[in-house]
C-alpha cells in the first residue's frame, strides 16, 4: 500500500424509547461529530449554504496482493500511518465504500494539482485492487466506470476531473500505474483526453507551460514529464518529443475552448 494521507437515510417515525435506543446504539459504534461553531459568537443560522464538495476524483492502485489485505490497511493503522479512501474497487468488480462522500479521506498525501495543494479536502479517492504490475481486470474497469458515472452525476464533479495519484504527486507516486487504461475511461468521457487526430503543435509551443495548464506541478520537470507519459502514453520516459507537444497542444485547446 502506498502511504497516503486517508447518505442520508429517511427513517420512519419512532417512539421516544425506540429513538433513544437507536441513538445510544449509534453512539456506541460511531462517535458523534460536534458542530464546528465559535464560542465567541451567537448562533443565528442562515439557510443560504451548501456542503463543501469534491471537485476531483483521484485514482490509486493498492499495491497489495488482494482486496482483503487492502481493506485491512485502509481500515487500520499501518507502518506508514493511517490511510483511507472513499472506495475500493476489487478485481472481481465488487465496490466497497469505506468513507462517506462528504468526509475527508486520507488518500492523496503531499500533492498538487493546479493551484490546489490539499487534495484530500477537494477530492474523492478510489483505490483499485491491483499490485501495480498486473493488468487491471475487465470487471474492475467496468465497475469503476459505473462508479464514476454515479459520482460525477450525483456529486456534480466534472467528468474531465478524473486524475491519477501519480499525476498529483509526480516523482513520489506512480499509481494507478503505467498499465492503467486511461484511453478506455476517456471513451466513456472520463478524464481529460486529446481529440484525434492529433494536430502538430505550432512553432515555439511551450510543452511545460501546457503541462502546467493541465494541472501538473512542473517544479521538477523530469518527474512531471514521467507522470505525463505514464498517463497519456503508457510509458515512463523523461524526454518530451513532438508527439507529446501535439498531445499537450490538443489538451490546451480543449481546456481553453469556450464553454
Say which CATH architecture domain 56-187 belongs to: 3-Layer(aba) Sandwich (3.40)
Domain extent listing, the chain:
56-187, 207-256
> Per-residue confidence of the chain (259 residues) as pLDDT tens digits?
444 333 333 333 334 333 333 343 444 444 555 677 778 777 777 777 777 789 999 999 999 999 999 999 898 866 666 889 999 999 999 999 999 999 999 999 899 999 999 999 999 999 999 999 999 999 999 999 999 999 999 999 999 999 999 999 999 999 999 999 999 999 999 999 999 999 999 999 999 999 999 999 999 999 999 999 999 999 999 999 999 999 999 999 999 988 7
Query: CA dihedral defined by 193, 199, 203, 209, rounded to 10 degrees?
Result: 0
Catalytic (active-site) positions:
127
C-alpha cell at 255: 481546456
Residue 216 · residue 170 · CB < 8 Å: yes
Residue 248: count of CB within 10 angstroms of its CB: 25
Distance CA 180, CA 159 (A): 18
Amino acid at each position: 500500500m502506498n502511504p497516503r494521507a486517508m447518505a442520508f437515510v429517511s427513517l420512519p417515525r419512532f417512539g421516544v424509547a425506540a429513538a433513544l435506543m437507536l441513538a445510544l446504539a449509534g453512539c456506541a459504534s460511531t462517535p458523534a461529530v460536534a458542530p464546528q461553531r465559535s464560542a465567541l459568537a451567537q448562533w443565528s443560522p442562515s439557510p443560504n449554504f451548501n456542503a463543501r464538495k469534491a471537485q476531483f476524483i483521484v485514482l490509486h492502485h493498492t499495491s497489495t496482493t488482494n482486496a482483503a489485505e487492502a481493506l485491512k490497511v485502509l481500515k487500520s493503522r499501518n507502518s506508514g500511518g493511517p490511510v483511507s479512501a472513499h472506495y475500493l474497487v476489487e478485481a472481481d468488480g465488487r465496490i466497497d465504500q469505506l468513507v462517506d462522500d462528504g468526509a475527508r479521506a486520507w488518500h492523496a498525501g503531499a500533492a498538487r494539482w493546479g493551484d490546489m495543494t490539499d487534495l484530500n479536502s477537494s477530492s474523492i479517492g478510489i483505490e483499485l485492487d491491483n499490485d501495480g504490475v498486473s493488468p487491471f481486470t475487465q470487471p474492475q474497469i467496468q465497475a469503476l466506470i459505473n462508479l464514476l458515472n454515479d459520482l460525477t452525476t450525483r456529486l456534480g464533479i466534472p467528468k474531465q476531473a478524473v486524475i491519477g495519484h501519480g499525476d498529483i504527486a509526480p516523482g513520489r507516486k506512480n499509481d494507478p500505474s503505467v498499465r492503467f487504461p486511461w484511453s478506455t475511461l476517456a471513451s466513456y468521457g472520463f478524464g481529460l483526453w486529446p481529440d484525434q487526430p492529433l494536430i502538430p503543435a505550432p512553432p515555439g509551443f511551450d510543452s511545460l507551460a501546457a503541462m502546467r495548464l493541465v494541472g501538473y506541478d512542473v517544479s521538477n520537470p523530469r518527474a512531471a514529464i514521467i507522470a505525463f507519459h505514464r498517463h497519456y502514453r503508457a510509458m515512463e520516459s523523461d524526454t518530451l518529443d513532438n508527439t507529446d507537444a501535439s498531445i499537450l497542444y490538443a489538451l490546451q485547446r480543449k481546456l481553453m475552448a469556450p464553454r
